[in-house]
Amino acid sequence: MSVEVYSECRIQFNSLTNKSINFDRCLIELRQYDIGDYNLRAIDLNNRKFEIFNWPLTNRNQYVFALSIEQPDILNGKNEICRIWLNRNSRDKFHEILRTCLEEFLIVNDNDTNYSSQLNNQEKSRKFLHELSTEDEKPYYRNDEPFECITCFDTIEKNEGILFRNCLHSLCKPCLLRLIETNTEPIVKCPHDDCTALLEERELRGVVSDLNADQKIIDRLHDVGMRFAESRNKTFHCITPDCTHWWFIEPEHANDIIFCNGCKHWICLACSVIHEGQTCSEYQDMKKLKEANDSTVRQDIEHLELMIKNKEAMYCPGCRVIIQKAAGCDWIQCTQCKIEICWPTQGPRWGPKGRGDTTGGCRCRVDNGKLCVPNCQNCH
């Protein structure tokens, strides 16, 4: 089997009963199984790539090409008409290769047994997709038929187990709970051989809740995951009060303005503020003008500069926000960028690779037990 050409598209089904089913974001493929043996297959990209149809091409008039980009192509099935709006960037290539296939290479098959079988499979796939869509708001999918658990080998009856959303593999709930309790990584992977799919947090919490286990085992995984991710990446936490959203920031995106799905604001990473409706230069000009005319602001700036000079405050080595330490040990963490800081040296606690990297940072007790500064409080 080979995929000859593909295109993103939007699809609408119309059955003989005039019932319409719409799929907003799909991928349609022209597949060749043998010489002259072609199928058109479509998957729904919004529903974890579930197969919408896989129809054999048995008639050269089965596919009708639209005359303009605004009009849909028409694919005729035995009991349905499928309207397809192709992506404008891939439409011409898709038409060219499909037209060549239909006109020059398609072998018309008078035996429709294979066609009926394909329609049968498509109907089963659609029913299964519909059943899963009704459970989308639930924490996890339930098994629609009995299965043998790969871990404990018990037979799990219908609706008593779990189907993982990202791979549709099955497992019994007690075995999943044991997997969560013994997992030492910040993420939980599907235990089936060669499967790399990750389990969703709501699936884990759903099973823990069903079995009346302590929700703290999920919180532990969440905390480990947060520390693991933030120690290896530059992150940005939303600056809107009471908003808990945060992002990984790549170096090439350092000056982007990003949209926060939590507070619904556009946030400028370069300025670390919300200045919707203004460019960065416009905001900075306005800020300078305000500071120049605001004696209180000038006094605050002078006071902060004095505190920094007297080492009562410092600029974060990660994001340059001003940090104060009222009390406590010499290890602190920036609330903005989460970098770990050595207060006496006013530099990063660790090297460029993050937590545990002793090639840089303050190197306290790394070199034959030598302290980073003579008066280090031995707290890191």
CA distance 60 to 58: 7
CA distances from 236 to 12, 271, 339, 348, 355 (A): 41, 12, 11, 17, 18
DSSP state of 46: G
Q: Give strand ranges (E) for the chain.
A: 2-15, 20-34, 37-44, 50-56, 63-64, 73-76, 80-86, 147-148, 155-156, 162-163, 170-171, 235-237, 246-248, 257-259, 266-268, 313-315, 322-324, 331-333, 340-342, 347-348
Q: Is 167 a catalytic residue?
A: no
Which structure tokens are listed for 244?
């808990």
Single-letter amino acid, residue 342: C
Compute φ and ψ for 179, nearest 5 degrees.
-65, -40
Give me the helices (H) in 81-112, please. Answer: 91-100
Where does residue 258 rank: exposed (0-12), middle (13-18), buried (19+ CB within 10 A)?
A: middle
Choice among 329, 334, 362, 376 that is catalytic: 329
Beta strand 246-248 with 73-76: parallel, antiparallel or unpaired? unpaired
Beta strand 80-86 with 73-76: parallel, antiparallel or unpaired? antiparallel
Which structure tokens are listed for 36?
């002259």
CA distance 128 to 263: 36
Active site residues: 329
